[in-house]
Amino acid sequence: MACLGLYCGKTLLFKNVSTEIYGECGVCPRGQRTNAQKYCQPCTQSPELYDWLYLGFMAMLPLVLHWFFIEWYSGKKSSSALFQHITALFECTMAAIITLLVSDPVGVLYIRSCRVLKLSDWYTILYNPSPDYVTTVHCTHEPVYPLYTIVFIYYTFCLVLMMLLRPLLVKKIACGLGKSDRFKSIYAALCFFPILTVLQAVGGGLLYYAFPYIILVLSLVTLAVYVSASEIENCYDLLVRKKRLVVLFSHWLLHDYGIISISRVDKLEQDCPFWHWYPHQPFFTCSLQNLPNLHGYSQKEPMDTECKMPKNPKKCS
Could you read off the pLDDT of 119-144 as tens digits, one per residue?
999 999 999 988 888 888 889 999 99
Q: What is the pLDDT of residue 270?
A: 52
Contact 251, 262 (CB under 8 A): yes
Report pLDDT for 301. Answer: 44
Say what the pTM is: 0.70
Which comes out higher in pLDDT, residue 258 or 31?
31
Give how far Cα 119 sits from Cα of 52, 126, 187, 283, Å: 18, 12, 34, 77
Highest-confidence segment of 11-20, 75-84, 247-256: 11-20
Q: Helix, strand, coil % (nearest 5) of the chain?
A: 55, 5, 35
Whether 90 shows a pLDDT value over 60: the answer reads yes
pLDDT at 130: 87
Which of 99, 81, 101, 110 minimizes the C-alpha distance to 159? 99
Query: Which of 117-126, 253-262, 270-279 shows the highest mean pLDDT?
Result: 117-126
**Residue 241 predicted with pLDDT over 80:** no
Residue-level pLDDT at 136: 87
- Higher pLDDT pick, 32 / 231: 32
Give residue 191's pLDDT.
94
Query: Could you give the dihedral angle defined by the CA atoms of residues 40, 44, 46 and 47, in that order, rounded to the nearest 10 degrees?
Result: 20
What separation, in Å, do the N-terminal and C-terminal C-alpha atoms of the chain show? 115
Span of 6-10, 42-46, 180-184 with lowest mean pLDDT: 180-184
Q: Per-residue pLDDT for 168 more than 80?
A: yes
Q: Which of 48-52, 240-244, 260-264 has the lowest mean pLDDT?
A: 260-264
Residue 228 pLDDT level (bands cut at 50, 70, 90): confident
